[in-house]
Structure 1
Amino acid sequence: MLLGAPAHAQTAAPATVVALTARTPELSTFHKLVQQAGLNASLEGSGPVTVFAPTNDAFKAVPAAAMDKLSKDPEWLKSVLSYHVVPGALKAGNINANSALTTVNGAQITASKAGDFVTVDEGLVTQADLVAGNGVVHVIDRVLMPAVKK
């Protein structure tokens, strides 16, 4: 703490997970896609929700054909983004060795913890427990893709 700075000068948590992603530079692609998919209203609700938000670099690693499909197929985009959202506020400390989680679109993902490392399916949590008024955001290094329904 800086000398002379009032104790209450700490930055308040953003009101929503959407506001949190908006002010986190490495999540700008995720934030833009949430807006494009029209999911901001559901992520600005009272929650609580847990969002596993891929970084900009994670989106850059997605094959061009898959990103093209996301940009042209609004339902697929919603499905992929919803696959990163779990009901309830789940902090990293509450994740067990293998925790089966149900996403908001009904799919199953697995969160695992080994020592200080937390993974979600194939994604590594690089920044945990970013708290917003309506939930928690964990930054991950990979875009999670749901199984394609036939």
Structure 2
Amino acid sequence: MAQQQEKPAQEVTKRADSALVTSEGITTIADTVVRKVAGLAANEISGVHALGGGAARAFNALRERIPGATASAGQGVSVEVGERQAAVDLQLEVEYGVAIADLSRAVRRNVITAVERMTGLEVVEVNITVADVHLPDEDEGDEVADTGRVR
């Protein structure tokens, strides 16, 4: 009988290892929260032009044209969230000329810091896929089409 009482106490002690899992209860962080935090943290780094692959960016551009709709901060970000840990996968479009390895380190560090600070989850990995390079003249082509030929 004494063993039955000790076992639950040991389980509670085992589970009370983090701020999210305590003897008073469990705090659950939704995947969408981690996805948004990670996306915003990645966008804070100079040299990141956009998040997501071509199709995701095109869909997001359409969404921005709908009145009242906003861009998704979680675009190009997928996550797996457990009770205490999270893993993040990012798809980036980078500015032409940046050192991609250095940029990846900075993005990874910023995402880990932001997610861990805001959620209390331990980030076990941040995988980065560089899906595209943004060329400086790509923006100029858009402006010419918008303004027309004659001024």
Q: TM-score range by the shorter chain?
A: under 0.3
- More helix per residue: 2
Normalising by structure 2, we get a TM-score of: 0.22
Q: Which has the larger radius of gyration?
A: 2
TM-score (norm 1): 0.22
Higher relative contact order (CA 8 A, sep 6+): 1
